Amino acid sequence: MNRGPGESRMHFAVVPACGHSTRMGRPKLALPLGERTVIEHVVTTLREGGVDRVLVVVGPHIPELIPLAAAAGAEVLALAEPTADMRATVEHGLRQIEESHHPQAEDCWLLAPGDHPGFSPATVRRLLGSAAFVRSDSILVPVWQGRRGHPTLFRWKHTVGIRALPPGEGINCYLRLHADETCTMLVTDPGICANLDTPEDYERLLGEASGPQA
C-alpha cells in the first residue's frame, strides 16, 4: 500500500473472534441478531462507520464464522491453533495487517471485540473523525455515562508497545501504562458497553425493539 505524504491515513479494525463462548454454551458470534448474525453486525457497523479494512481473527474451533465475516465485507485470518487470550489474538491480526497492507505510523486501528455488537456506525465515525484532532500518539476510548467501552482507537505506532508487554498482561494493562496518552470521547451510545457473554445478555439484545445498531 503506497501512499504519498499528502494522502489521508488508513483506518483498520481488528475483530478478535477466538473465544470459546463458555458462559453462552454455544458459539455466540454465530447467533442471529435481527437479520444478521452477531459477527456480521460488528463487521457491518465498522464498515458503515468508515473503516477501510476490517480483519476478523477466527479460532480453529469456530470455522462457521469464516463465511459469515467474509460475506459482511471483512478480511478473515483463520488461525490453525487456539490463542491463549485476546491480546494474542489481536497480535495475530496486527501482524496480518502489517504483512498485507504495510500501515504507516499515523494510521489508526480499532480494537472491536466480536462480542460487542451494540455500538453504532455513528460512534465509529466519531472515533475516526476525532483522531484527526488529538495528539498523534493518542489512544481514544469511548465513554458512556462514565463507563468505558468499545471500540478503542489506537495509532499504529502503539502496536510495538503492545507486543512488548510482559507475558500474561493484556491490552487493558497497556492502557493503564499509557494513561497520559489516552483520551476519552463522551458518547450517547450505550451499545459501546453492551458485552455479549451470557444467555441473559443475548435475550436483552434480542429484546431491544430498535436493534443493536439503533
Q: Is 66 exposed, middle or buried (0-12, 13-18, 19+ CB in 10 A)?
A: middle
Contact yes or no for 11/108 (Cβ under 8 A):
yes
Segments forming the whole domain that contains residue 187 = 11-207
Asked if the model's pLDDT at residue 131 lies above 90, the reply is: no
Residue with cell 453486525: 41
Whether residue 213 is contained in a domain is answered as no
Alpha carbons 71 and 69: distance in angstroms, whole number: 5
Angle CA 158–114–135, to nearest 5 = 25
Confidence tier at 105 by pLDDT (50, 70, 90) = confident
Whether residue 108 is contained in a domain is answered as yes
Q: What pTM did the predictor assign?
A: 0.91
Whether residue 73 is contained in a domain is answered as yes
Pairing between β-strand 32-33 and β-strand 36-37 as defined by DSSP bridges: antiparallel
Alpha carbons 168 and 158: distance in angstroms, whole number: 18
Structurally, the chain folds into a number of domains equal to: 1
Asked if the model's pLDDT at residue 5 lies above 70, the reply is: no
pLDDT value of residue 133: 83
Confidence tier at 206 by pLDDT (50, 70, 90) = confident
Assign residue 68 the CATH number of its domain. Answer: 3.90.550.10
pLDDT value of residue 209: 36
Whether residue 45 is contained in a domain is answered as yes
Q: What is the pLDDT of residues 137-178, one digit of tens each?
A: 789 999 999 999 999 999 999 999 999 999 889 999 999 999
Q: What is the pLDDT of residues 69-98, one digit of tens each?
A: 999 999 999 999 999 999 999 999 999 999
Asked if the model's pLDDT at residue 2 lies above 60, the reply is: no
